[in-house]
Every structure is written in C-alpha cells, then in structure tokens.
Amino acid sequence: MHNVYLYNTLSREKELLHTHKNHVVSMYCCGPTVYNYAHIGNLRTYIFEDIVHRVLQVAGYRVQHIVNITDVGHLTSDGDDGEDKVISAARNSGLSVSEIASMFTEAFLADCRDLNIIPADNYPRATEYIAEIIQFIVELEKRGYTYIANGNLYFDTTKDQTYGSMRGYRDGDTSYARVEIDSSKKHPNDFVLWFTQSKFVDHAMHWSSPWGEGYPGWHIECSAITYATLGDTFDIHCGGIDHISIHHTNEMAQNHGRCGHIGASYWMHGEFLILDKDQKMSKSSNNFLTLSKLTADGFSPLVYRYFVLQSHYRKPLTFHYEALTAAKQALSRMRVRCKSLLSCECMESERTQEWITRGMQAVCDDFNTPEILAMVWQVLKSSELVDAEKRTIVMHFEQILALDLFVQEQECTIEENVDNGWIDERVKERNQARINKDFNQADRIRQELLSQGIILVDTADGTIWRRED
C-alpha cells in the first residue's frame, strides 16, 4: 500500500489520503449533461479522473467509482434562468428527450472506451433518482433550508454559515457574476431545488412532488445520488474547475444542510483545456472539438490521451494541432521501442524496484503524469538496464498510462474496392441500431467497418465516414 497525496481544493493544500474504509476509496465524478457530444476539454477531465482511479488501484486500493449522467435539470445558463439543455436539444433535433439522452450517453461511453478510461461501477441517471431527489429536498425543508417563491422551491444560502468556503480558490474569481439574478430569490446566491410548471409550462419531463408537478434543479441531483450510492460521507469528489464557484459550492451547501457536513473529504478539480487565443472550450458557445473530429483528422484517441498526460491536471493546457502532431510522433516512437521488448520475459531486480519505487512516489504525489512519461523515456533509452528490466518497469507504469504500449496492433486490411453503397447501408443500419438503443449492435457495425479500414465520425449533423489513410 502506497501513501497517496492529493490536492484538496477545499484546503488549497496537498493532503495525505485517509479513506473512510480500509483499502477502499469511494469516488464520485460529475458526469456529462447528455445534450451534445463531449468535447475534448470535457474529456481531459475524465482522463484526469481515470488517472486518479488507476493510481489508486496500483497503490493498493479498491476504488468504488460513480459517474452520474445528467439527463434533466441542467439549464442553458449557470443560474436558474434559461432552458433545460437536454429538452432544448431534443426539440431542435426532432428527437425525443429519451432518444437524445440515450444517443449522447452512448457516444460519451464510446469516447471513454476509446480513451482507455476504466468504466465506473455505476452511471446513475438523474431521471432514475427522482424519488431520492425529492426525499433529499424534503429533509432540507424539515431543517429549514428552503423557501417557496413564485411556485419554485429555493435553497436559502443564508442559513448555511459555511456557504462559499471553496469559492476562494482563485482571487478575483468573477465566474459567478455571469449568472443573471432571479428576482424571486431572497439572496443572489440562492438557487432552485425544484421547479414547478409555473417555470416552464411545456417542460417535457415532470414529476409529482410535495411542491407541485415539476422537475429538479441541477445541483440537487449530485447530492441525492452520492447520498444514495455512497452514503452521507465518502472520500473523493472530482470535477472540472468550472464546477467550483457554483455547482460544487451549491452541492456542498445541500450536503451540509441535510447531513451536517459537506459529503466528500477531498474535492479535486481539473483545469481547462484552452484553445488558441486563450479561449476555453465550450459547447454553449459552439467553440469546441470532439474526439471524432480528431480521429477524422488522423489522430487516434490515445494520441490525445498522450497529449493530455504530458501536462499536470491542475495546469491549463493549450490545444493546437502542432502539439497534437508532436504527441502522435512521440507515442509512435514510444510504442516502437516498447514492442521491441515483447520477445523478452519480465525480470525483477534491484534496479527495477528502484525505478518502480521512484515512479510510484512521483505519481502518488498528486498524480504527476508528466514525470511518469519522462521516466518511461529514460528507461527505454537507458544503456544500463537490460531489455527484460525495461519491459518490467514500463509495464508497471503502463497500468497507469494506459497507452497500449505493448498491444500488438491487428493488421487492418484497407479494402479500396469496398463498395461505397455497402458502407452507406451499414452506416444507416448503425444509425437505426442507435435509435433502437441497441448499442451493442451499433458497436459491432462500427468495429466491422473499422476492420475494413473505414472510420466513422459522429457529428452533430450525422455520421460521416472516411477511408483510413
């Protein structure tokens, strides 16, 4: 068992991990709102969370990992105004809410598989936890944390003396200022727990509740789901840095209101992926790239993973294609060196143990992936280590990096004479399988086409295909 140190946004310090259960880490990660494809900035966060998961496993812990799926309640603004994102996407596409949510959930999980992200133990959907959400709100109401205004139920932040304790993460943080003030609130920081039909009379999803027919606000789902799946106390809560000022601040207030404490012991946040001109990637501003777009441009998902792992998760990372090309070349060279070691049996020695110990110390110190990548290169280029030792060391680190360094690639036969009409027909069949929620069949068709050298790219305008270079 290795000691693991992680940066806790709440204390703004690196802390030694202490778990509630021996050798078990309970971890909750804020998942996607399934109204569009995840962009590569979102996926940087999930890669960071995967590194946390993998390091904890290699360090000797069993990880209980939950990732929620937001399919109701996340509005098109960060406050309590705007429209539900999933419902807006359904209306604009002509699909049902269920079809939109299922389609983009499947796309998100496919991206995670392509990035070698370890699946979570559970992906609870908000709509599956409405009863738990209502009960959580009832408990807050009993404790005097709520009030009703214009038919909607609000959380009264003035009742929580610890409110906003994490918001000081950055001096001069003005992100909350972009939220339009709801005139119904007693205080600008207050937020809706439950909307009634007085808010949006044509809302496609609504449920009966003690406060009338309606639907939940965004923040309450995470509190209710963590309480239902992990209990009132758990170890690690992860998310993007944009969650600090509003979503996680409100989530902590809800937890404190019901349970008397904030739920998680450690709150971790990954930094933004920045485009050129210092713009963060954002779906709301239509300023984003998807993993499928990178694939269409000739960059595999694991090239993007390598690109991300070159930077520490708490540092902003600027994306441009020149850097991605360099990552592609570096990963290719690394794989060539690793595959030259496949004929060797692993061999443990004092030197391998020294390298592995150094590597574990680095990666257990707040998940320092750039240091691990640098060490892999040092090992592969070493003139002192024999090949069997190199393989032993790199295979240990590969448990964390997950770059398929030793995977023997299957020969992909690129059939130039494959009929375009046949390809189009298979794409149509895959699209129908996705509509029917037969995601296993959709994956089989995708793999069948890939075996013929045909790459599928799912876009907002539909699925396109190209022949592999």
Output the known binding site for Zn(2+): 30, 222, 247, 251
Q: Which residues are annotated as a binding site for ATP?
A: 283
d(CA 408, CA 338): 10
Q: H or E stretch including 454?
A: strand 454-459
Residue 107 C-alpha from the chain's centroid: 13
Burial 199-214 (b: 16+ CB within 10 A, else e): bbeebebbeebebbeb
- Of 229, 226, 301, the C-alpha closest to 258 is 226
Record the tokens describing residue 282, joined without a space.
């954002």
Give the start-end residues of each E strand in 316-453: 317-318
Q: Is the dihedral of CA 133, 134, 140, 144 positive or negative?
A: positive
- Three-state DSSP class for residue 408: coil
Element (H, E) at 68: none
The one-letter amino acid at 125: R
Of 64, 68, 57, residue with least CA distance to 234? 64
Rounded-to-integer distance, Cα 123 and Cα 121, Å: 7
Annotated binding site: 30, 222, 247, 251, 283
Q: What is the identity of the amino acid at 282?
A: S
**What is residue 427's three-state secondary structure?**
helix
